[in-house]
Structure formats: C-alpha cells, structure tokens
Amino acid sequence: MPKNPDAEKNNPCLKEQELSYKCLDKNNYDREKCEIYFQNYKNCKEFWNRVKNDRKWKGIQPHLPEVSEREAIKAAYMATKPPKE
C-alpha cells in the first residue's frame, strides 16, 4: 500500500512505477536490467496521457478516469487497436 492514499487515483501507472523501483532495488540499480520495466511504465504513461487529453478535449470530467473505470477503458482501447503487422 502506498504511503499516499490517493496515489492510485492520481497515478494510473502506479503498479508499473513500483515494479520499476523493485527491479532497480533487486538489480543493484543496474538500469540496463530493468529496461523492460521502464518501457512498460513509459507506455502506460503515454496511454493514460492520451486518454486524459482526449477526455479533456471532449469536455469529459474528470479528465483522468476513476480507478473503477480504468479497466473498461483499457479494454475498449485494446478492442479498437489495429493489429500489429
């Protein structure tokens, strides 16, 4: 449980962030060994920033969806995402 009770509400990528920190701790802060965790965190941040900006542009409040809505939003995005070639 994070020290800040609102951490998950304000940071949709909290899990990815914590996994990055754990990897660094486990690997004696060798960043090369944790690149996949960093990339995953970066992808997460980019995704939720797109969602937040889109909702802001459409006038949807709150701009960052509630924690309870996030899985459904992510699933809807994945369903409309074009397949990789």
Q: Distance (Å, rounded) from C-alpha 16 to C-alpha 30?
A: 17
- Tokens 């070639």 map to which residue? 85
Total number of residues shown for the chain: 85
In a domain, 54, yes or no: yes
Q: For 2, phi and psi rounded to 5 degrees?
A: -65, 155
The predicted structure's pLDDT at residue 80: 85
In a domain, 14, yes or no: yes
In a domain, 2, yes or no: no
The predicted structure's pLDDT at residue 72: 95
Instruction: Say yes or no to pLDDT of 10 above 90.
Output: yes
Q: Provide the number of structural domains found in the chain.
A: 1
In a domain, 58, yes or no: yes
The predicted structure's pLDDT at residue 6: 86
- What's the pLDDT tens digit per position in 29-74? 999 999 999 999 999 999 999 999 999 999 999 999 999 999 999 9
Q: Distance (Å, rounded) from C-alpha 14 to C-alpha 41?
A: 9
Question: Can you list the alpha helix ranges (DSSP code H) found in 1-85?
Answer: 7-10, 14-26, 35-58, 70-80
Range of the domain at 18: 7-80
